[in-house]
Amino acid sequence: MGFAIILSTVIGLTALALSYSFFRRRRWIAPVLACFAFTASLAWFLLPVCVLIPPEDIASFNPPIETRTETGILGQRYFEERNGGWFHCKARIARKLFF
């Protein structure tokens, strides 16, 4: 999660610098845009993405997938059963960086 916060901070500061250069007369716009950019990017990075696990991979889990209770930073379970299939759920930034 630390990397997502750092990346979101960089995006927010970039938005702050760009908005200061474009909106010099309205000084309140720059901090508002920076806060919005930080919040939006952090929410996007931490949004969970769930991928279906193939049935042949489920058989090879040790311990069995039904007994796993690991949760992520936001409290969401890593392995969820939905519509008769098992899904592996991770934050978008974790899926991009750590497959």
Name all contacts of 51-58 with Cβ < 8 Å and 24+ positions apart. Answer: 51/87, 51/88, 51/89, 51/95, 52/85, 52/86, 52/87, 53/79, 53/85, 53/86, 53/87, 53/88, 58/86
Going residue by residue through the chain (99 aa), what tens digit of pLDDT does each one get?
566 777 778 888 888 777 777 777 777 777 888 888 888 888 888 888 889 999 888 888 888 888 888 877 667 788 888 888 899 888 888 777 775
Amino acid at 54: P
How do residues 39-62 score in pLDDT, each as one tens digit? 888 888 888 888 999 988 888 888
